[in-house]
């Protein structure tokens, strides 16, 4: 019989529609991250960048590296807060590149102890066996340059993330660096070439930044500086790759609890919770009532036979209403 099949189909669509709509609305911007959970951060120096800003986007860099000769591979995560209010263009540029996946699978191509670790070049990928890579590694990007952006609240504090660039101040592209220590010599007020633009800071995983800064490189083959290579200034990690498996946006900085200390929003939060619960109950009661009405109509009057094609067209129409 076609009638029971139609009733079941309509019932499932009615119940599934709220879930489908909810899934469409879920993304990283709705995930609030409590700053109280962050540890292993940089050294603070009283900068405005020390204080997490509610609503700021947060990204995670997943790394793997070998700290030194005869060491095992270490895997870790570096959490960074971006500052869209102070560096809107640079932050938007970073988020765009992260969401495009351009940084997934590359490596840190420049590492200098007591200075910075630099990555973000999409052409810096291993070909076969590391350190074999492309000829453009270290000079690559996506070809879209970014205008220099400064703000008085931003500087090269310990753990700051900034945009790498060429001689032209407006030549930043996809490459970025993380300051392994304070690097105020890169701030615009301390230079005559407009300096470099910072736009975020490490919130967790600073121990990985410091460990990466100490890996053996072309400049420092031992990783502990007793022997340096005066013929190299590239800082390319060798013989071990400092791999970036993935960079992803993971959420936004959560708002602090209200003054009452109630993390759920006090009395107002309770009212909202009750209202949300009542709405959910009403939605389910409405759904069951509608299903019951469909079944009753079928038993009383029956329904015309629907072909599989007609059922598919009905499903498609309902799904389009949810999008």
- Token reading at 200: 């975020």
Shared domain check, 162 and 16: no
Stated length of the chain: 323
- Token reading at 148: 């220099």
Q: Which domain holds residue 286?
A: 2-28+260-322
Last residue of a domain, one of 253, 286, 311: 253
Shared domain check, 216 and 178: yes
User: pLDDT tens for residues 179-188?
Assistant: 999 999 999 9
Shared domain check, 49 and 182: yes
CA angle 173, 177, 180 (to 5 degrees): 170
How many C-beta neighbours within 10 Å does residue 6 have? 19
Shared domain check, 143 and 116: yes
The residue that leads in pLDDT, 134 or 258, is: 134
pLDDT-derived band at 114, boundaries 50, 70, 90: very high
If residue 64 lies in a helix (H) or strand (E), which one and from where to where?
A: strand 57-65
Count how many domains the chain has.
2
DSSP class per residue in 49-107: GGS--TT-EEEEEEEEE--STT---EEEEEEEEE-TTT-HHHHHHHHHHHHHTTTTT-B
Shared domain check, 265 and 229: no
Shared domain check, 242 and 279: no
Lowest mean pLDDT among 42-51, 58-67, 166-175, 283-292: 283-292
Region 39-44: mean pLDDT is 97
Task: Give Cα separations from 67 to 46, 75, 182, 227, 312 (angstroms).
Answer: 31, 11, 22, 17, 57
Shared domain check, 137 and 282: no
User: pLDDT tens for residues 229-238?
Assistant: 444 457 999 9
For the chain, how are helix, strand and coil distributed in percent, rounded to 5?
A: 35, 20, 50
Handedness of CA 192, 198, 204, 205 (dihedral sign): negative
pTM above 0.85, yes or no: no
The residue that leads in pLDDT, 300 or 70, is: 70
Q: Examine the pLDDT at 3 and tell me if it is beyond 60.
A: no
Q: Examine the pLDDT at 215 and tell me if it is beyond 70.
A: yes
């Amino acid at each position: 019989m076609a009638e029971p099949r139609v009733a079941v189909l309509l019932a499932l669509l009615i119940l599934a529609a709220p879930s489908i709509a909810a899934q469409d609305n879920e993304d990283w911007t709705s995930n609030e991250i409590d700053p109280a959970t962050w540890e292993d951060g940089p050294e603070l120096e009283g900068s405005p960048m020390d204080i997490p800003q509610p609503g700021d986007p947060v990204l995670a860099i997943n790394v793997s590296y070998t700290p030194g000769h005869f060491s095992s591979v270490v895997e870790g995560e570096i959490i960074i807060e971006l500052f869209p209010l102070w560096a809107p263009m640079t932050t938007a540029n970073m988020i765009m590149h992260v969401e495009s996946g351009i940084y997934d699978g590359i490596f840190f191509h420049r590492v200098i102890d007591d200075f910075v670790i630099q990555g973000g070049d999409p052409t810096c990928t291993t070909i076969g066996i590391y350190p074999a890579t492309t000829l453009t590694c270290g000079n690559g990007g996506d070809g879209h340059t970014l205008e220099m952006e400064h703000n008085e609240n931003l500087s090269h504090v310990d753990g700051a993330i900034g945009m790498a660039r060429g001689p032209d101040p407006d030549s930043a592209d996809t490459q970025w660096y993380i300051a392994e220590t304070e690097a105020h010599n890169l701030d615009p007020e301390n230079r005559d070439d407009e300096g470099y633009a910072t736009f975020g800071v490490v919130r967790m995983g600073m121990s990985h930044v410091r460990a990466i800064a100490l890996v053996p490189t072309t400049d420092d083959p031992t990783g502990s500086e007793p022997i340096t290579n005066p013929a190299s200034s590239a800082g390319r990690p060798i013989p071990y790759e400092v791999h970036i498996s993935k960079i992803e946006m993971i959420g936004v900085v959560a708002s602090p609890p209200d003054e009452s200390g109630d993390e759920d929003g006090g009395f107002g939060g309770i009212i909202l919770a009750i209202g949300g619960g009542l709405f959910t109950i009403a939605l389910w009661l409405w759904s069951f009532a509608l299903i019951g009405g469909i079944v009753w109509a079928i038993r009383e009057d029956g329904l015309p036979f629907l072909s599989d094609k007609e059922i598919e067209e009905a499903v498609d129409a309902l799904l389009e209403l949810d999008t």
